[in-house]
Amino acid sequence: MEYLGYFASILVGISLGLIGGGGSILTIPILVYLFKINPENATSYSLFIVGITALIGSYKHYLLGNLKLKTALYFTFPSVISLLFVREIVLPNIPNHLFFINNFEFTKNSLIMLVFAILMIFASVSMIKRSNADKKMQEISFIQLSLIGLIVGFVIGFLGAGGGFLIIPALIFFAGLEMKQAIGTSLFIIFINSIIGFGGDVINGIQLDYKLLFIISSIAIFGMFIGTHLSKKIDGSKLKPAFGWFVLIMGIYIISKEFFL
């Protein structure tokens, strides 16, 4: 299963490079089901893998003129605050064993995977729906950007997810960015949030297999170069619906595997 996991890791980078999000939606299932990593620890792995891959992608988009730094900072500051709050206070205080339903034990890991699957389903709907994808606001709303940043920080903190599927629509609707600008700026925001979250986990003494972490990250970065190259030739917004259907199927699979299979 590990070899399949290495191959799937390429898709993480391609997704981030091509559509500016979706990488973490793939990363968590890959880590949990293909590499057999505990879901809570998988969120830490995901933060680093998605973060370092997003760094490479954001630099590539910076060279292409797609990174809007001021907008990114308005979004990033509140998201970092909520991210650290979740990683430092909320997650450590959730008990490992929550409750029983007949013979089924609902654990902290079950909660993480359930919330992640629900998030995948909602994210897939936003990707499949394309009606407002090319609309944008004329005035930049930094207050709304900051509020959404807070929400994204909670998502990243709890699930180790980059939150690109939330960030990109926010940048389009509330910052007036074009799709490619939203992708480049989203990658920078994902990088800052993910690396800070991962750094907090390391400081708190989390135990990780760093060899595995760097191998997966290297493969994802390779995929990022492929995705960024493809983004010059392919409109990422046109691929989002197809990716959305894939994410929807993955979300349903996770719920089925965790609670019914």
Rounded to whole angstroms, the Cα distance separating 30 from 34 reads 5
The full length of the chain comes to 261
Please give the share of the chain, as a percent, with pLDDT higher than 90: 8
The amino acid sitting at 32 is: V
Q: How many CB atoms lie within 10 A of CB 17?
A: 29
**pLDDT on residue 190:** 87
Q: Per-residue pLDDT for 124 more than 90?
A: no
Write down the pTM of the prediction.
0.78
Query: pLDDT-based confidence at 108, cuts 50/70/90?
Result: confident
Task: State how far Cα 144 lies from the chain centre.
Answer: 20
Report how far apart, in Å, the C-alpha atoms of 31 and of each of 40, 122, 214, 238, 242 are: 11, 21, 13, 28, 23
Residue 88 DSSP SS3: helix
Residues 192/80, Cβ–Cβ less than 8 Å: yes
Domain limits, the chain: 2-259
